[in-house]
Amino acid sequence: MAQIFYYLGHEQFQPETLVKHAQLAEKVGFDGIFISEHFNPWVADKGAAGFAFSTLGAIAATTEKIKLMTGVVTPLFRYHPAVVAQASATIDRLSGGRFMLGVGNGEAINEAALGYDFPKYKERAERMTEALEIIHRLFKGEKVNYDGHYYKTNSAKLYSPPLHQIPILLAAGGPKSAELAREYADGLIVSVKDPNKSLETINPKEDKPFIIATSRWTVFAKDNDEAWQSLQAWRGLRAPSRNIATDPEQLQKEADSLPREEILSRYTILSSAQEYIDAYRPLITDLHSDIVAIQTTGNDQNKIIELLGKEVIPELKKLV
């Protein structure tokens, strides 16, 4: 049975609000939360950008059973891999062993904005390989001396170790990252637009236990006008230079120069509980996800969370 997670977007909501959303998500029956980790938002006028590990600490202290997962943090530039391991172990302890680590290869809006070179995919994949080796070894309790091309450690050890073996899931936008995940991680995270195309990335195999986590962007709105208002914090996500931009103001200007319909066409707009069920059903029945993250926004987030808990989660849980 798939576990249903609720997505907490640091790019839209301030951290104190996300903590309340997480508490409500636990109350209505979500199995876990999937929380973004950004230094910059996607637009300057409506965005937010809290520190994810602090938010996770507050959530860990004020919830009891939901799982917590980063979606995703980049252990390549702003954070040394050993620091990500330390932060993860701390959250795991504060939550009583409920943490899962989702990692990704990064985005210029977060990394280059702080003065780091943002290299092409090949180097980022090489960095991720080294980073995952360091994190895995630290999670296992080793004292790690590592002399890699990108990272070094000298007798690094977690003296506040995690309470359980933290699963590491790697975000993948294509087959190359998916193979990297299968070799060096415990699972794969895929953002789904077209379930049929996502099958090419997931490429199910039965060679070892492996966690498949999927998410899908949806907007709860009665019409396009309401959907556009709901997407104000996210409109820069669809700007042409979103992969290379370092300033949210740039993405904001680009997004606002585009036809509104062009941006709206890149999101799945829903207006009922049944449409939510239909949108997320393929992630369970076709992609065979172990974790499904509902990544959604609307003009009243609390009501959406309550609707999902009452009418959507029970139906998704029935699917095999």
Residues with a known catalytic role: 38, 107
Q: Which residues of 232-268 are buried (b: 16+ CB within 10 A; e: fewer)?
A: bbbbbbbbeebeebbebebbbebbeeeeeeebbeebb
- HSE (side-chain half, CA atoms, 13 Å) at 1: 9
Cα-Cα-Cα-Cα torsion 262, 264, 268, 270, nearest 10 degrees, comes to -150
Nearest to 53 by CA among 6, 15, 27, 11: 15
Pairing outcome for strands 152-156 and 144-147? antiparallel
Separation CA 56–CA 71 (nearest Å) = 12
Place of tokens 């996210």: 234
Reported residue count of the chain is 320
Contact yes or no for 132/101 (Cβ under 8 A) = no
Separation CA 104–CA 172 (nearest Å) = 8
Q: What is the 8-class DSSP label of residue 73?
A: B
String of DSSP letters for 164-196: S---EEEE-SSHHHHHHHHHHSSEEEEEESSHH
